[in-house]
Structure 1
């Protein structure tokens, strides 16, 4: 690898699109670049090189990724594309947008420091200049295209260097974990696994994310301790399918109890969320461990997608309204204060008005605290894209609006139940106009849910305080510091 000097040091801005898993990847890449001698900046205007970490989950995500790439290449700065679009459509991107300095798939992230070094060494990188330089035998930037769909086995396959864990107050270092930048807030994502083995007919993720691969418990504990030692109080655990964690490890899925208990050992860690839970894969051992945990909060992010058994079967998923309501009832029996999040797809091929009625009845009966609705997006290479009875876009949008209206009423009603309760709230910022503190309790996941506004707080950000909830504002809560 070429050494980084004053002449080729890059000031890199990483623009991250998509889910929390991409946020972790950006953190890993930022750590790798910093370790290599490059500098990270927040504002693209302050950068001399831009990385776009892309998402390609649905059509809207691809469109946003392409727009962001084109906006970045509209500057005079070299642009590198990484992430899901680079892995899935890397060759197309390199062909259609020759202005790019690099298109780097998952397994080639270790090459990013050198790609960035070459980019800033050669200076401005614009389309016609690129082709002209290449035609005249001049210098050209490397383009490392994605290698196409293939298994991605664990984080080590990306060639990321490892950090050693710091000794905890009661335990020695246990393992190393992929390099990442130091957190700058009171919460952080922790990726516990990668890939997916499910065969949902609407989803293309397994084709480019690869087979499911759990990260080992010791490695996760090391990273959790390191994050907490750097000021993190809350961990948000992400993967493609959290309820598959452990199935490829010696203890199997039953070791999920050990995962939960591990978090309880991390001194200084106040709150943990387990995101992306598949209802059909949830085991009693996990529910029991969550209910008994001091850190893993009763926040259940359940991937339901629909409630009609016929639609779920067409999606190659299991369940129905009765099964889902039974699961919710079981969880609430163990944890009466449990909070639930889910998302739903409407307009799936073959979906009927009756299916939408079943879904509407279900969401009213389920009483979910947080919900999102998406219209079905046909994905290239998936079974659903070839199914008959595709639902017209305008019909799907009408169904989305209808369901979202119901869900908004349900969510507001669920917020009302917290009035009069005292919640442990993590203060994240202060509103400059009102002076109110803004924070989150166990009820609100960062970047996706609502917030709590506190009128009389003077606690520094990054601290947790007890807050008595006085009223609601839609789905948000308003309270005062409890005496």
Structure 2
């Protein structure tokens, strides 16, 4: 892939730095691939907090890192759960006949993309194929790509190039590109990467076997059809579709809707994900009950815009109605967490539903994107920063001290130094536990693509770094305010990074992967997937330290 003039192309020049550099595969790198560099520092108070990379700042849809095919993952490079693939739950009996394939998968991008990955694997396993964690044992390697922003496309292309190297000289191996990049740039992928054996678009996620050439799939190498702006897609799945979860046994992502009806100037998602299509409430209840029966403790509800849930179903205030239904239904996971709320669409009914139902955990994920009214208008976003703070305060109060995450874009066309300073003051004064920071990049097919991208790349990088530092300080202050509280913590790793007697977990205000951890001291008998009571004794940016309550 060569550098192109348009931001929507598949660029090969990387300006990003990687928060968590990964080792290169032992095999020779593909000649078109390149190495990553750099890391983001962490400032912390407790000595233990400084020994781990920061998890509360995100640059783009996932933490930035190299994709290592020796450590494939469902989530942008994090290792797979520490259990055998044969033990991963998949619904339904195996069916089908014909050739059997061993399939490995790398999933990039957001949790919504991970759900698509799990659906593809679920279909393959149900039809008798074998999922393997190590690509060296695989016949087929699927790379589920992300196309959200320029940096995400670059990471996806690098992963595909690595996969092409994995295939070289090995008869019978096939490489499959799937997901958003296929939907958005399928023609270019087919032209630029002849090593690809199949392209799987978003509408083919639950029909993946029909696209694999080794299984006799028809038109396997044909690009996904281009989707006109806002045109609905056909591929909405249901609880009846088989799914092989790649998350730890106690945690799951649940996609409540697909697509987006917003018209943010910088975002291309409606162009390839389509308009909102919501899953019926009964279907979501069925999936959540099945997850609880599998031992899932926390279910994370995601959509491109969760507050838009149900409008296409004729529901008024659909997300609030969903929360009320889940809160009064037995047999569901103990923790239910909402993600991707949209400012200006959080109703009083939703706030009251969150206040009255402890199963929906104290967590707010509200991407605000900026805090200067002029920039927000150019972004086609709601633009009242004072109202933002009032809304966050109301949610924080309703939830009894919530974990609050937001996301911001720096370097949007026309952003002045003064407007950036307004954003910095807002983040410094805001109640943010974790922040995602994006440097703006032009996206083909978006209204902002017609604007002059007049903020130099080096200025964008400087502003991103500065805002990250401010966000870290804001987070540190929020965590220190939790010292003295007793929190339920979901244990995830035993022993913890400090050895025997420690563990690593998350309280309800920390989402998986992105919002940091609670370091547990004195929990030698803790078991992953269980909840423990921890008294908080210290805190730093994105991290807490807890000891047995009453100990």
TM-score per shorter chain, which class? 0.7 to 0.9
Equivalent residue number for residue 547 of structure 2: 480
1:149 to 2:227 alignment: yes
- Any conservation in 1 of the 2:143–2:178 contact (CA below 8 Å)? yes
> In structure 1, what is the Cα distance between the partners aligned to 2:407 and 2:367?
7
- Any conservation in 1 of the 2:146–2:180 contact (CA below 8 Å)? yes
Per-residue deviation, 1:256: 2.5
Per-residue deviation, 1:384: 1.1
Match of 2:242 among 157, 172, 179: 179
Once the two structures are superposed, residues 229-279 of structure 1 have per-residue CA deviations (whole angstroms, 9 ceiling, x without a partner) of 1110101111000000111123222x3232112322142521111100001
> In structure 2, what is the Cα distance between the partners aligned to 1:401 and 1:250?
43
1:32 to 2:98 alignment: no
Match of 2:214 among 102, 119, 127: 119
Equivalent residue number for residue 129 of structure 1: none
Q: Alignment partner of 2:344: what SS?
A: helix
Equivalent residue number for residue 315 of structure 2: 251
Q: What does 1:55-454 align with in structure 2 at a 5 Å threshold?
A: 55-76=146-167, 77-116=173-212, 118-119=213-214, 142-150=220-228, 153=232, 157-158=234-235, 176-182=239-245, 184-253=248-317, 255-264=318-327, 265-388=329-452, 390-430=454-494, 431=496, 434-435=499-500, 436-454=502-520
Equivalent residue number for residue 132 of structure 2: 41
> In structure 2, what is the Cα distance between the partners aligned to 1:424 and 1:111?
40
Once the two structures are superposed, residues 68-109 of structure 1 have per-residue CA deviations (whole angstroms, 9 ceiling, x without a partner) of 001011123311011000111111111111111101111223
Match of 1:459 among 504, 512, 526: 526
Q: Across the two proteins, how many residue pairs are aligned to each other?
A: 445
Change (3 A) 1:432 1:325: closer
Change (3 A) 1:323 1:268: closer
Once the two structures are superposed, residues 202-252 of structure 1 have per-residue CA deviations (whole angstroms, 9 ceiling, x without a partner) of 110000000111111000000000111111010111100000011112322
Q: Alignment partner of 2:222: what SS?
A: coil
Tell me how large the CA RMSD over aligned residues is: 2.0
Per-residue deviation, 1:141: 8.0
Per-residue deviation, 1:121: 8.1
> In structure 1, what is the Cα distance between the partners aligned to 2:190 and 2:197?
9
Q: TM-score, normalised by structure 1?
A: 0.88
> In structure 2, what is the Cα distance between the partners aligned to 1:346 and 1:433?
36
Once the two structures are superposed, residues 331-350 of structure 1 have per-residue CA deviations (whole angstroms, 9 ceiling, x without a partner) of 23323412210010010001
Q: Alignment partner of 1:80: what SS?
A: strand
Per-residue deviation, 1:461: 1.1
Q: TM-score, normalised by structure 2?
A: 0.77
- Any conservation in 2 of the 1:11–1:46 contact (CA below 8 Å)? yes
**Structure 1 unmatched runs, 5+:** 123-139, 163-175
Per-residue deviation, 1:476: 1.1
Once the two structures are superposed, residues 339-384 of structure 1 have per-residue CA deviations (whole angstroms, 9 ceiling, x without a partner) of 2100100100011111011111111221211112111011112121
- Deviation above 6 Å: which 4+ runs of structure 1? none
> In structure 2, what is the Cα distance between the partners aligned to 1:106 and 1:205?
12
**Structure 2 unmatched runs, 5+:** 1-94, 168-172
Per-residue deviation, 1:110: 4.1
Change (3 A) 1:428 1:197: same
Per-residue deviation, 1:400: 1.3
Equivalent residue number for residue 131 of structure 1: none
Change (3 A) 1:215 1:180: same
Change (3 A) 1:266 1:16: farther
> In structure 2, what is the Cα distance between the partners aligned to 1:251 and 1:212?
13
Equivalent residue number for residue 17 of structure 2: none
Moved more, 318-327 or 191-200: 318-327
> In structure 1, what is the Cα distance between the partners aligned to 2:183 and 2:216?
26
- Any conservation in 2 of the 1:192–1:214 contact (CA below 8 Å)? yes
Higher helix proportion: 1
> In structure 2, what is the Cα distance between the partners aligned to 1:357 and 1:313?
17
- Any conservation in 1 of the 2:175–2:197 contact (CA below 8 Å)? yes
> In structure 1, what is the Cα distance between the partners aligned to 2:235 and 2:431?
41
> In structure 1, what is the Cα distance between the partners aligned to 2:457 and 2:497?
42
